[in-house]
Amino acid sequence: MSATTDTRPDAGLLERMRAAHHAGCVVCGRLRDGGLGLRVRLRDDGSVAGTVRPSDDLAGYAGLLHGGVISALVDCAMTNCLFAHGVAAVTAELNVRFRHPVASDTLLTVAASVTRRSAPLYVARAELSQGGQVKATACGKFMEMSR
Measured in whole angstroms, how far is the alpha carbon of residue 11 from the centre of its chain? 15
Residue 23's pLDDT is 83
Q: Is residue 5 situated within a structural domain?
A: no
Q: Is residue 105 situated within a structural domain?
A: yes
Residue 12 one-letter amino acid:
G
Q: Is residue 2 situated within a structural domain?
A: no
pTM: 0.91
Q: Is residue 74 situated within a structural domain?
A: yes
pLDDT tens per residue across all 147 residues of the chain:
345 555 677 788 999 998 898 888 889 876 556 678 898 999 999 999 999 998 888 999 999 999 999 999 999 999 999 999 999 999 999 999 999 999 998 999 999 999 999 999 999 999 999 999 999 999 999 999 975
Residue 22's pLDDT is 86
Is residue 73 exposed (0-12), middle (13-18) or buried (19+ Cβ within 10 Å)?
Answer: buried
Q: Is residue 3 situated within a structural domain?
A: no
Residue 31's pLDDT is 59
Q: Quick one: CA dihedral 117, 96, 73, 51, positive or negative?
A: negative
Total number of domains in the chain: 1
* DSSP reduced 3-state for 56: helix
DSSP secondary structure of 74-95: HHHHHHHHHHHTT--EEEEEEE
Q: Is residue 6 situated within a structural domain?
A: no
Give one word for 108, left, alpha or beta, with left for phi > 0 and alpha for psi -120 to 50. Answer: beta
Q: Residue 110: give the domain boundaries.
A: 11-144
- Asked if 128 and 142 count as a contact pair (C-beta separation under 8 A), the reply is no
Q: Is residue 110 situated within a structural domain?
A: yes
Q: Is residue 116 situated within a structural domain?
A: yes
| Domain CATH code at residue 110 | 3.10.129.10
In this structure, are strands 121-130 and 133-144 parallel, antiparallel, or unpaired? Answer: antiparallel
- Asked if 47 and 112 count as a contact pair (C-beta separation under 8 A), the reply is yes
